[in-house]
Structure 1
């Protein structure tokens, strides 16, 4: 057989597909009949639902990532990006993290490149904006919030203080609401260590273009979440857009203007740019056109799933599967099984999974859930949120480490230290060199 399977992307779909193939194709991998390669910029998979908890200090960032090489010892891991896919020639252009680009040939390809933040041409967005899709962004945001509390405590300028203590989140989906709720909870907890900052001094603004928050949990639970956020003093602006934030001067479409040093952008995602640099068919939303079999429509030897793919939802004709972790993990299982069937000349099976609902964390001991029509809020929803995501974290090693972090958090207070210098480790040394030159 001697087939080379190339997986573009080491996220949910890439990792879980490779894990299942590694387990079910042991003999073929051992005998060299099948070779599997994953290409991803990172050497790990990030379990993104835990980003808010990492930002709040409830989880160590090392425990929410899965090291690809440790989990996939029979898979070749290459770190870098795919800049072009030429499926007609069965090859991709691979740009490694260091060095020149090269061509890599394959027999079968899995396009699982995921998504990136979808931004808009808003003036000043890069001045104070930060995304919330990676571990680096989550930890940088945590450091920034705590650093700005230090700034506000140490200044006697009311304008600097007001600006430092104003935080804006754009987008009221899962990422935005969970990030805001966890960070607001952390900041409020941190004020007990400051002499001149009270929880009421910190302003949180949530900006959402639609008329509701957390649409994934349904209208009733969304309204309850909105009430909870407002009861916590969070300024929620629905049916409002961010018009500008140049130099930290925030302008909203409802006419509101104020200054802020921090803006978190979570207003949607779009497929990875590599899908545009391929000869694979795309749908009207710029995603790879997929079939319910998780193959690329009208194309041989090509499979796809996850955020970069438009996978038809056979349980809801005319609709597509939502771009979330629940579908990605289950698609990966079906995808791996179909690849095995494809290699063995068997008939492929459609991906079929009815969406069971959603859970969201709203800070320590607070959550909201709508699962199989059962609606929960508060502590029960928070426990369900943690239980569900713990069950989905890959490998027993990661699960145990997460549980240990949570257990320690029950007995010890959260750390409220900004380690922002970690983002610029050479600055101190450069300053010392400059001083010595004088």
Structure 2
């Protein structure tokens, strides 16, 4: 049997502790599967006294992860600290510079400087693995990077944030407000005390940027993603979607067009009978569309100690099974210096159309004005629904729901802005994209 693979773990939170526990419990089975033992040589965390449910007494302890990366006798550095800069960034760069393989679950770090890190890894002849950074326990990175080699990707999309999916599921199934569902998510540990990063779509955007680079071979461009969160989704929107035969999901979508690559994160109405509409709670789902395979949908736990640790362990065992002199798999499926500059796609017609909810004063002429503004911006309407009158507003009001045919985001936003200027809206308008299945 080959010499043991020596690893150092930086970060002993939920994921780090789960990883240590799995390695300690299943060491013999992993050694048989990999042809060599996996040995934890060093760990790092901020508090030595904190109880974590795992025994690290016989493992070398470092207070500073950068020192661990620089000095520990290890073959693999596992970064589970988090954050796009600071100790996470410094320690990963230190490990790569030493010629040590790196495994990370840090999507923020990869979204900010993944290409730089990939270049460094290739220069030093080591691996940069990050399966746990996107969709938790779903093996989407390995699938796109290795299993689907030879496929040409056209679109990748999915539900990539369990917090948002949990909130939207609870709102629909239990008729609860957004605020009530968010508080419950925080109580259960699904949402942070400050949930902004999740609910405003930033977490999904980081993951989408990584998948976009894997799919289309461009440099990571997380700053060029159209971003909209779920904090303005109301019970009224959920109910209106159900009446129209849809469910609302926060989707990240990247697709290749003739003019470039389109990346967007936003609430989306999906048909109730579609597979992705059935993905509830904290579960994630990623769909990959390619020319050879067609569409592949992968569904599974998107977060949690065991799910994320499982993905980290998969990356570690891949390294354990590799042998000196073998060609290394590039971090993003192709050599980092061959990644092309990101070219943002021009705005084009969105084939699914849009849902527009307008709460307006109950007076003569409003319907005609709305129809005129839509026509002025070349928007064709599939349906107009007047929902029950609401006397609870400052003025007697009514809600008008519009569903458009294919049109552009720019035209919809321009039309809605023109309606706002007319002065008869009594609440902020709501605009949600509709995604319909493609014709076979």
- TM, length-normalised to structure 2: 0.27
- TM, length-normalised to structure 1: 0.27
Please say which structure displays the higher CA radius of gyration. Answer: 2
Q: Using CA pairs below 8 Å that are at least 6 residues apart, which structure has the higher relative contact order?
A: 1
